[in-house]
Structure 1
């Protein structure tokens, strides 16, 4: 008999459990499920948008208020024997009542819950109530009981199994949510039920694809149960023994093709169907082997090492129920378009939605998944220990089918914090998470998902006895750059794997303009509110160093700090990639933002690409030329030999060739070639007035001998035109022909229309060369405005000559 599912998403109302500073209607506020309190109050017009101006500062009371969700639904008896109330996600500390009877309680955002309720259901109208205890109330009480723990912030997030960045971060607001954040419904069935299916697709020792299946059932009797599994034309029948609730089977799938990251191959995926009597479960998986060479921290897929061109991922919205499948797809497409092959799901956020991992499977993006622990000492006492064990096991099973997921990581920066941040003295012997990262998590991974490597944390050097941030082993996080030293320091050391590094820059102009109603000026208080990093505004200016001049206007500040962000990160990546295969990965902090903010992201909180995005597209391309230590490094992360005649020219800034050398080169697939620069091009006669140009096929690199503040850059002179861009009349072509050298030419059409986008940026032109920019997304009243500052910019605008 087919199970029956009744969604319970309509008809909810929200009520406050304690007095609040806004006038709630007597009958409650209409509530969206899935959703949360903040979005319900916002939809009702009772609070201002927390992402705009400094509205966030007036909404702290929401996370300190108890809230109740109420719903009335109609139910009629059916022929089934059992009915469960199923919550896919509750945020976070909740008590559930059905028709006045308490049926359960929860304290973990990262879990789902199922409660048997059939005896409590009534023919006709039923009442469902979910009472949420304020997150601060719960977490602070547990903190008082267990003793405080050190961390990056004073908020009590280590004491509640909830998205840590809800409590504020150095890029995010403090918006502490409650709510029914994932789907809820009633499920009815008769006979045995498919309770859980774990599917792992990998390769056996001979490289043959295989499916490992574990089936858990909820029984109605004690007899043996026959089940089957089908995938890619193969079928296996197996039995759940009498009195048992679990059975496992492994099935060879010789006809299946291997799954690869998009940088290395195709992504074949296969439907999996499991049957138990008249019940069926369906899913999808791919077949690949995931490996990790520990000391070198070299990730491999199907035994082929992968140089990781990565980005860190934070929750894409402070209110995750608003993140649609399409929005995730758009972010992934933005990542892939700039050459990314791995996304690291950072430990201060979530185990992401099924949509997230399904899309990663389809698009060929590798996923590194942190367990949700970040930047703090986490107590190991009850009830937290058992909550962690339950959430981990559930998510190991849920995510096991996804071939994109290639690494489980215990935490973000907690091992480093304990070793290097003075935590041990503050802890005075109290627990801090060691038992999670070195005992519980590896044991659960080995038991539940042995197909993927586990790594205790990042940064980590492979042993608790070693310094966590050792560049010679494991992973490092590089935050001296940005916090204290110039970005040229990236090149001081060779690292094995850089799992976090980054540099700040403001969001797009249109994003700032939407978020801030006041003036956009240097030192504007509302802009300062959208800068959460400690001393962040001063670091932005200090970070300009001798690379770029100090700005004297808002427009120059916006342009120069965005440009400096792009240059700093690109500089680091050129160094890391040129050290391959000693270094086998770089993961930029960060791809995305959760709101409009000055941050490290390449794509801002409104989904707009910053100059960093264009720089990453260049330095994360399959093939890269990088000048370092007197040599040109040819980095070939493609599957084909890269060969040709390399042309090296030293030129004056007016374009005249002062010296020229040619070298026949060949770089193997997935290889790096070091070409020493001949003295005639390596040594300028006047470093302030000359430039090095390297050309190989269609690829070109332009390298200056001095920082921009010491270059004799001429005032920008060029001829620019704008024409309709395509046959439909939508879009524009902006053509710029340089009459002088133009350094990092950029176009910002969002200043004219928030919907406008440009296809390229940060283009350096020699005199006489042209570039064409395509602008899409808007129809402009005055297209000629695309040709004027501050829409069209280059470094020449800002350097004194």
Structure 2
């Protein structure tokens, strides 16, 4: 993921958002390769086609590897064809479908009706749907990226020399697999993050809730801002608490500010600042919200200032006014075909 301003990207650190109460949509997923844009609607798919088992979350490359149709020494190009994923599942009534990551030009169809289109690999999407009884069919079509990019007419003002093709800047997707000499040309295609089916709001008040946190300093005090995005009918008010590293607690109120949003702020006096481990303690404050007697864990925030120091024409960062040395890092994956970077797998890898 990229940002035009690296300082803005750094400012977003320690401001997590947390989805609460997910239920993974599981079953016997299959997928089918078709020519680019040859199939416009799921009804046109061939039942006698070469449907292969697929793991979700997962990728086309991972599924081909599981089917012994993958060669690490010569990865096949995956951006020239469309890939249709299919799942049959039971359920009826109103539900929420949440797609936490679809790579990358994707269309979602439920029971023959298109309910979502996206061209952003890193953004989660949630749609309200009506299930039609015991037999529902979900299709996800991942359109061929290269033909789509050729159709984009926006000029490339700054052509990235390392990225192939340069027009990749027109879509939000990973650069892994598109940097010759850096990593193999393994293309990320497929539902690489969880797909969740959420119960109707009201059966469990904490389901379908997403917390958005931010923090800032006001002199020696800290300000915590919380916004709760709630799928369905939102209560008129709620409450939240901020717990410090020394277990002190401060309370605040949440008020409805939009049809599906509660928001509020809490002032924390004389906060402990967050420091890099080389300069002090990474002090964090825990946030919990209360909705109708149900507690929602919203994550943690820290308080620090960050500024660029360009004295003498050089570039450095100051954290809480102190100049610090930041070492560069390259983010990759230990499983390029599957993108299956669980915490446990990465810990073993490191």
TM-score grouping bracket, smaller chain normalisation: 0.7 to 0.9
Q: Distance in 2 between matches of 1:244 and 1:94?
A: 28
Residue deviations 1:38-94 (CA, integer Å, cap 9, x gap) = 11001111122x2xxx323xx12x2211111011112255xxxx4211100000111
Post-superposition shift, 1:299? 1.8
Residue deviations 1:723-780 (CA, integer Å, cap 9, x gap) = xxxxxxxxxxxxxxxxxxxxxxxxxxxxxxxxxxxxxxxxxxxxxxxxxxxxxxxxxx
Q: Secondary structure at the residue paired with 1:189?
A: coil
Q: Secondary structure at the residue paired with 1:117?
A: strand
Post-superposition shift, 1:14? 1.2
Question: What residue is the counterpart of 2:212 in the other structure?
Answer: 198
1:239 aligns with 2:255: yes
Q: Distance in 2 between matches of 1:129 and 1:310?
A: 41
Question: Any gaps of 5 or more consecutive residues in structure 1?
Answer: 20-24, 335-801
Question: What residue is the counterpart of 2:128 in the other structure?
Answer: 116
Distance 1:71 1:270, change over 3 A: same
| 8 Å CA contact 1:203, 1:289 repeated in 2 | yes
| 8 Å CA contact 2:237, 2:262 repeated in 1 | no
1:215 aligns with 2:228: yes
Q: Identify the structure with the greater strand proportion.
A: 2
Q: Distance in 1 between matches of 2:116 and 2:301?
A: 37
Q: Secondary structure at the residue paired with 2:339?
A: helix
RCO higher in 1 or 2 (8 Å CA, sep ≥ 6)?
2
Question: What residue is the counterpart of 1:303 in the other structure?
Answer: 321
For residue 270 of structure 1, the aligned residue among 282, 285, 291 is 285
Alignment of 1:698-777 (within 5 A): none
Question: What residue is the counterpart of 2:80 in the other structure?
Answer: 64
1:10 aligns with 2:27: yes
| 8 Å CA contact 1:86, 1:186 repeated in 2 | yes
Post-superposition shift, 1:289? 1.0
1:125 aligns with 2:135: yes
Distance 1:197 1:27, change over 3 A: same
Q: Distance in 1 between matches of 2:208 and 2:295?
A: 8
1:33 aligns with 2:51: no
Alignment TM-score, normalising by the size of structure 1: 0.35
Q: Distance in 2 between matches of 1:210 and 1:131?
A: 44
For residue 84 of structure 1, the aligned residue among 88, 93, 96 is 96
Structure (1 or 2) with the larger CA radius of gyration? 1
Q: Secondary structure at the residue paired with 1:34?
A: coil
Distance 1:198 1:154, change over 3 A: closer
Q: Distance in 2 between matches of 1:263 and 1:320?
A: 35
Distance 1:147 1:98, change over 3 A: same
Q: Distance in 2 between matches of 1:299 and 1:168?
A: 29
Question: What residue is the counterpart of 1:43 in the other structure?
Answer: 66
1:99 aligns with 2:111: yes
Q: Secondary structure at the residue paired with 1:139?
A: helix
Q: Distance in 1 between matches of 2:170 and 2:227?
A: 33
| 8 Å CA contact 1:234, 1:253 repeated in 2 | yes
Distance 1:325 1:255, change over 3 A: farther
Q: Identify the structure with the greater helix proportion.
A: 1
| 8 Å CA contact 2:61, 2:338 repeated in 1 | no
1:170 aligns with 2:181: yes
| 8 Å CA contact 2:164, 2:180 repeated in 1 | no
1:325 aligns with 2:343: yes
Post-superposition shift, 1:34? 0.9
Q: Distance in 2 between matches of 1:320 and 1:302?
A: 40
Q: Secondary structure at the residue paired with 1:42?
A: helix
Q: Distance in 1 between matches of 2:346 and 2:171?
A: 27
Alignment TM-score, normalising by the size of structure 2: 0.77
Residue deviations 1:491-544 (CA, integer Å, cap 9, x gap) = xxxxxxxxxxxxxxxxxxxxxxxxxxxxxxxxxxxxxxxxxxxxxxxxxxxxxx
Question: What residue is the counterpart of 1:741 in the other structure?
Answer: none
Q: Distance in 1 between matches of 2:339 and 2:186?
A: 14
Distance 1:67 1:309, change over 3 A: closer
Q: Distance in 1 between matches of 2:225 and 2:336?
A: 36
1:227 aligns with 2:238: yes
Post-superposition shift, 1:236? 1.2
Question: What residue is the counterpart of 1:744 in the other structure?
Answer: none
| 8 Å CA contact 2:62, 2:338 repeated in 1 | no
Q: Distance in 2 between matches of 1:309 and 1:330?
A: 23
Question: What residue is the counterpart of 2:160 in the other structure?
Answer: 151
Distance 1:326 1:5, change over 3 A: closer
Q: Secondary structure at the residue paired with 1:321?
A: coil
Q: Secondary structure at the residue paired with 2:132?
A: coil
Residue deviations 1:565-605 (CA, integer Å, cap 9, x gap) = xxxxxxxxxxxxxxxxxxxxxxxxxxxxxxxxxxxxxxxxx
Post-superposition shift, 1:218? 4.7
Post-superposition shift, 1:27? 5.8
Q: Secondary structure at the residue paired with 1:158?
A: helix
Q: Distance in 2 between matches of 1:117 and 1:246?
A: 20
Post-superposition shift, 1:26? 4.7
1:180 aligns with 2:191: yes
Residue deviations 1:104-157 (CA, integer Å, cap 9, x gap) = 211111211111102xx1221211111111111211222xx3356633145131
| 8 Å CA contact 1:5, 1:188 repeated in 2 | no
Post-superposition shift, 1:213? 1.9
Distance 1:325 1:231, change over 3 A: same
Post-superposition shift, 1:329? 3.7
| 8 Å CA contact 1:103, 1:115 repeated in 2 | yes
Q: Secondary structure at the residue paired with 2:151?
A: helix
Question: What residue is the counterpart of 1:55 in the other structure?
Answer: 74
Question: Any gaps of 5 or more consecutive residues in structure 2?
Answer: 1-19, 37-47, 244-248
Distance 1:271 1:189, change over 3 A: farther
Size of the aligned set, in residue pairs, is 307
Post-superposition shift, 1:172? 1.3
Residue deviations 1:649-677 (CA, integer Å, cap 9, x gap) = xxxxxxxxxxxxxxxxxxxxxxxxxxxxx
| 8 Å CA contact 1:204, 1:210 repeated in 2 | yes
Alignment of 1:340-359 (within 5 A): none
Distance 1:308 1:286, change over 3 A: same
Post-superposition shift, 1:219? 5.2
